[in-house]
């Protein structure tokens, strides 16, 4: 069996809650690897080890580096408990690294839990460090404060050595920070907003608004594809699809056309909140971003916000678009987001938009509508699907 060691920085620092987070991460890793054969997991001195068949290496690595809460992982090379074996194993691994990096600094870190071995941890570090330094005089130098690489040595029933480190996503284990209802459009921003909150441990469910048949099936499918992409990180997601067309028609008929966007936005928030409360979700999440478009001015956001009581989290509020796009590319939603299918907001798009809406005026317009009835029907007729990563 091969072994991979998992580092989970931040969750190790949580004092009394530490066990809660560690257990959540273990549960998550187990669940995500459950379909593979012969996987075992154990915890040892604040690190986690996954034992797997050699042929599953690629898949295990892919899954672990996409699991929230994991800072980095390293494949472990095991050898006999002797200094010669440690020298040789460390040497081979350094040679491997030198193929892609001609010069670097290093240090050795040793932990000895096998007290039967005659040398202490500092002594082992010193010997291995000395040997490596001597062997790779021209390529390597020691730097104990900011080394490029760390040669980790754990003396257990065998010696575990690992030098290569693959970055993980960081963040907190999924489902350890409450539940948030994501307003998921087909755009670039909202999938990124959902990803960032999920990365902090917030469990996601999504609401999507469409204007079928004015918007197409393909536009809806695009949003489902985005949600499906998120399942790579969160396992599964429930998506509520709500038809906003009747509401938009009512606004179009009874209210000033320049208020179309802001009024529909308030309906979206109200409906999302209603669904969230039924599902016991404790906040709303949007991809809103200050000054990005006419409806996302300070005044616009204030009027939208005023429609709901649940807190609204906007993790992208201060991001520049280029930075949102960077994340979207990294998490693989970008290519789908830029597909040119119409969004429901574009259906009744007015020529003029109120840029600085006033709450009293907007509420006055809203009072011309059968708000409760419209919301009730939209929610009643929604479609719900659950998307799973392995489907
Ligand atoms: P995005 O890239 O997320 O679509 P955007 O720049 O297009 O964002 P807006 O259309 O103003 O911005 O939407 C702001 C936020 O409102 C979105 O990030 C999303 O959270 C929510 N939202 C907008 N349209 C929809 C929709 N059709 N369904 C669900 N949520 C929506
Ligand atoms: Mg949008």
- Strand locations in the chain (E): 2-7, 40-44, 47-52, 72-79, 104-112, 140-142, 149-155, 159-162, 166-167, 179-183, 203-210, 236-243, 283-285, 312-313, 383-388
Ligand 1 and 291: CB distance under 6 A: no
How far apart CA 11 and CA 34 sit, in angstroms, is: 23
The residue among 178, 177, 208 whose CA lies nearest residue 191 is 208
Which residues partner with 161 through β-bridges? 77, 153
Rounded Cα–Cα distance for residues 299 and 169 (Å) = 35
Q: Is ligand 1 within 6 A of the CB of residue 184?
A: yes
Q: What's the CATH number for 179-388?
A: 3.40.50.620
- In this structure, which residue's CA is closest to atom 20 in ligand 1? 286
Regarding the beta carbon of 295 and ligand 1, being less than 6 Å apart is answered: yes
How many CB atoms sit inside 10 A of residue 385's CB?
11
Q: Which CATH class is domain 2-167?
A: alpha beta
Question: Does the C-beta of 264 come closer than 6 Å to ligand 1?
Answer: no
The answer to whether 331 touches 191, Cβ cutoff 8 Å, is: yes
- pTM here? 0.93
Protein residue whose Cα sits closest to atom 12 of ligand 1: 288
60 lines ligand 1 (CB under 6 A): no
Residue 79 contacts residue 159 (beta carbons within 8 Å): yes
Query: Integer distance in angstroms from the first to the last C-alpha of the chain?
Result: 29
Residue 191 CA, ligand 1 centroid: distance in Å: 10
pLDDT given for residue 350 in this prediction? 76
CA dist 114 → 87, 160, 197, 229, 351 (Å): 18, 12, 41, 44, 75
Annotated domain spans of the chain: 2-167, 179-388
CA atoms within 13 A on the CB side of 3: 19
Predicted local distance difference test score (pLDDT) of residue 390: 79
**Segment 16-51, tens digit of pLDDT:** 778 888 899 999 999 999 999 999 999 887 789 999
Kindly identify the ligand whose nearest atom is closest to the C-alpha of 344: 1
pLDDT at 14: 59
**Is the CB of 293 inside a 6 Å radius of any atom of ligand 1?**
yes
Question: Angle between the 321-330 and 189-199 helix axes, to the nearest 10 degrees?
Answer: 70
User: Which residue positions in the chain have pLDDT lower than 50?
Assistant: none
The CB of 345 under 6 Å from ligand 1? The reply is yes
Asked whether the domain spanning 179-388 has the same topology as the one spanning 2-167, the reply is: no
Supply the residue whose CA is at minimum distance from atom 22 of ligand 1: 185
Residues in the 5 Å CB sphere of ion ligand 2: 185, 187
298 Cβ below 6 A of ligand 1: no
């Amino acid at each position: 069996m091969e072994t991979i060691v998992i580092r989970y920085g931040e969750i190790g620092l949580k004092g009394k809650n530490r066990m809660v987070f560690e257990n959540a991460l273990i549960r998550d890793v187990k669940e995500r690897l459950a379909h593979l054969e012969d996987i075992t997991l154990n915890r040892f001195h604040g690190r986690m080890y996954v034992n797997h068949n050699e042929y599953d290496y690629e898949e295990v690595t892919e899954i672990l580096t996409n699991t929230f809460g994991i800072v980095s992982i390293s494949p472990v090379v095991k050898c006999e408990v002797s200094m010669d074996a440690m020298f040789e194993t460390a040497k081979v691994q350094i040679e491997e690294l030198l193929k892609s990096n001609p010069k670097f600094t290093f240090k050795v870190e040793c932990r000895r839990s096998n007290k039967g071995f005659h040398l202490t941890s500092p002594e082992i570090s010193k010997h291995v460090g000395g040997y490596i330094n001597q062997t790779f005089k021209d390529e390597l130098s020691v730097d104990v404060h900011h080394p490029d690489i760390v040669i980790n040595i754990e003396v257990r029933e065998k010696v575990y050595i690992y030098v290569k480190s693959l970055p993980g996503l960081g963040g907190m284990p999924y489902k350890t920070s409450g539940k948030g209802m994501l307003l998921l459009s087909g755009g670039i921003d909202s999938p990124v907003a959902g990803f960032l909150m999920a990365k902090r441990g917030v469990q996601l469910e999504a609401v999507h608004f469409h204007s079928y048949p004015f918007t197409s099936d393909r536009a809806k499918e695009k949003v489902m594809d985005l949600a499906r992409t998120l399942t790579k990180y969160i396992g599964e997601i429930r998506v509520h699809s709500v038809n906003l067309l009747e509401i938009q028609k009512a606004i179009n008929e009874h209210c000033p056309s320049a208020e179309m966007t802001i009024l529909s936005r308030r309906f979206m928030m109200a409906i999302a909140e209603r669904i969230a409360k039924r599902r016991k979700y404790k906040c709303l999440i949007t991809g809103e971003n200050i000054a990005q478009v006419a409806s996302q001015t300070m005044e616009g956001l204030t009027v939208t916000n005023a429609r709901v009581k649940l807190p609204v989290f906007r993790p992208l509020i201060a991001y520049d678009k280029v930075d949102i796009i960077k994340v979207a590319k990294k998490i693989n939603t970008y290519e789908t987001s830029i597909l040119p299918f119409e969004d429901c907001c574009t259906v009744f798009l007015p020529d003029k938009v109120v840029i600085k809406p006033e709450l009293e005026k907007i509420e006055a317009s809203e009072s011309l509508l059968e708000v409760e009835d419209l919301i009730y029907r939209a929610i009643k007729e929604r479609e719900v699907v659950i998307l799973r990563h392995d489907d």
